[in-house]
Structure 1
Amino acid sequence: DSYLNDVLMVGEFLGFGGVADFGGNCMDQLIDDSNADGYTTVGIPSDEFNIATLYDRDWPGNDWPKSEIIDIINKGTHIINHLGHGNNFHVMKLDEPVRMRQGEIYGECHDIVENLTNDRYFFVYSQACLSGAFDNKSSDLEIYPYDCIAEYLTTKTEHGAFAAIMNARYGFGSIESTDGPSHRFHREFLDAVFGENILQIGKANQDSKHDNLWRINQDASDICKVNINVCTSVIFPYSKNTRDSFSKIM
């Protein structure tokens, strides 16, 4: 299935100034090798994968509509990398099961349960805040009566993702720089897969933490280390041909 080689890079407006205004600038560093910000990582090889981008940076008005990513998911894509703002119930501009902004809940919203129809599942890595808060807690440790959106993407619908890596608490960027703490882990995760041939999602995620261990006292690296979790309802390895596809073996 050709969809196994389809990758989507998703970037939103961040507002961190300069090169850090748009998430797409960080997502570009995940394609092929990158020497940005003083270290080298191996990214997704553009000569082996069909890589599409969905960036606020490049969209008219700098704000792509959520209908765009819903359409792409439903048509079938296998890997999504994302950088944008989020909360317990919001990621990639999708809301589930409620719409919440700045801590206020504005009622039910079911972008995932009602709108996703894909039967070709995807893997998603997102740097967004709180989208993987599997303990239902807010940043202030308030307990919500709803599961987080990562759980809806992976376990509470027949469609969506087979696995997700998301933050249980805050994701962290950097002012006027692409060298944000969360982005360092994202880069090292893909380097684990494509540079070190670590072909299990959990092990690759752990390797990204190991490779950033020397930064443990820098910025928010210690927080990122415990916040970045794998959300999935299945146990599986990558195939031995991971560089050709991220195919899931059940």
Structure 2
Amino acid sequence: IGHHEDNGYTTDGIPEAFPIQEMYDRDMGYWSKRELIDKINTGMTFIHHSGHSNVDYALRMSIGDITDANFNMVNGVDHNYCLIYTHGCICGAFDASDCIAEEMLKIQNFVVAGSFNSRYGWFNEGQTEGPSLHLHREFVNALYTLGIDRIGQTQVQSKIATAPWVEAPGQWEDGALRWCFYDNNIFGDAAMKIHTDNYTSIDESIGKTKLDIFPNPANDFIRLSVPVESGNLESVKIYDLSGKMVTNIHFSLAKISTFEVRIELNTLPNGTYILRAETQKAVFSNTLTIVR
């Protein structure tokens, strides 16, 4: 959380202004899985866990606790799904018959993605530094400071930034950090963007790929046109809503010198289709409806 220069490297993690709830044995003496489940159901969207785990155990929960009923409010409607980053051992052992991380993602509610260990997570006893913690610090630094918010890329950046330390002295066991590099894995869609409130701009391209179809809805034929600057029309393909291609027309560039063509529809039944036109420089698409 916040700016840190501990243990010889600098990270800027979760902004201190963010709403953060902490559950530490140091402060609470002991917290139960029921207390955690109740908090998760109020909308805790990112859970950061440093503690013991096993194939069927994590965050003080057993695999039998991972049910839609227990996480009925974390359903994407009442509250958004959760992300988890844990230092715990073996909870992400995807080569086992069914580890607890897999169960968290398999049910309809609760977790959408996370970072889990397929073998050991590591700490350095009596220190605030450790192999799993080092990767974790670089993960949140990549996310909140560098703006690398696709979860797979965030994790890769955490390993890149930690790589110079892989043989650092003082690890609880020699080579532990190298071990963590291999067994720390992303579960879920690695291309998923994590929402951080750090918005980025995108280049607007509205209208640049729209295909003009007339008439639409259509009966027996249509005329379609593409922008002149996109080059001559090369092909037109029509797909039904199952994704099956039902029409495929190729044009001879020697014969096509205009950018408007007539397409016959006599062989197609009523319905909605996706029409895709390819030119020398671009691809255009639009929805086509046939009504007779």
With normalisation by structure 2, the TM-score equals 0.61
| Mapping for residues 80-99 of structure 1, pairs under 5 Å | 80-96=47-63
Q: Cα deviation per residue 1:63-103 (whole Å; 9 max; x = unaligned)?
A: 1011001101112111111100000111100110xxxxxxx
Match of 2:10 in 1: 40
Q: Which residue of 2 aligns with 1:74?
A: 41
- One-letter identity of the residue aligned with 2:178: D
The yes-or-no answer on 1:111 pairing with 2:111 is: no
Q: Which residue of 1 aligns with 2:21?
A: 52
Larger radius of gyration: 2
Counterpart amino acid of residue 20 in structure 2? I
| Larger helix share, 1 or 2 | 1
SS in 1 for 2:49: strand
- The CA distance in 2 between the partners of 1:43 and 1:174, in whole Å, is 20
Query: Counterpart of 2:261?
Result: none
Output the amino acid matched with 1:135: D
Give distance in 1, aligned partners of 2:115 and 2:93: 11
In structure 1, which of residues 185, 194, 199 is the aligned counterpart of residue 135 of structure 2? 185
- Deviation track 1:182-231 (CA, whole Å, cap 9, x = no partner) reads 10000000010112111111001001111111122234111010111000
Cα distance change, pair 116–135 in 1 and its aligned pair in 2 (3 A): same
* SS of the residue 2:41 aligns to: helix
Counterpart code for 1:221: L
List runs of 5+ in structure 2 lacking aligned partners: 200-292
> CA contact under 8 A between 2:118 and 2:183: conserved in structure 1?
yes
Q: CA contact under 8 A between 1:66 and 1:94: conserved in structure 2?
A: yes
The structure carrying a bigger strand percent of its residues is 2
In the alignment of these two chains, the number of paired residues is 187
Q: 1:222 aligns with which of 173, 178, 184?
A: 178
Does the aligned pair in 2 maintain the 1:162–1:234 contact within 8 Å? no
The 2-side partners of 1:89 and 1:243 are apart by 35
CA distance in 1, matches of 2:35, 2:43: 13
- Which whole-Å CA distance do the structure 2 matches of 1:111 and 1:200 have between them? 29
Large movers: runs of 4+ above 4 Å: none
TM-score normalised over the length of structure 1: 0.71
- Does 1:148 find its partner at 2:99? yes
Residue 122 of structure 1 aligns to which amino acid in structure 2?
C
Q: Which has the higher contact order (CA 8 A, sep 6+)?
A: 1
Structure 1 residue 57: deviation in Å? 1.0
Measured after TM superposition, the shift of residue 234 of structure 1 is: 7.4
Contact 2:87 2:121 in 1 (8 A): yes
Identical-residue share of aligned pairs (%): 35
Deviations 1:145-182 (A, max 9, x none): x311111111x211111101010100000021111111
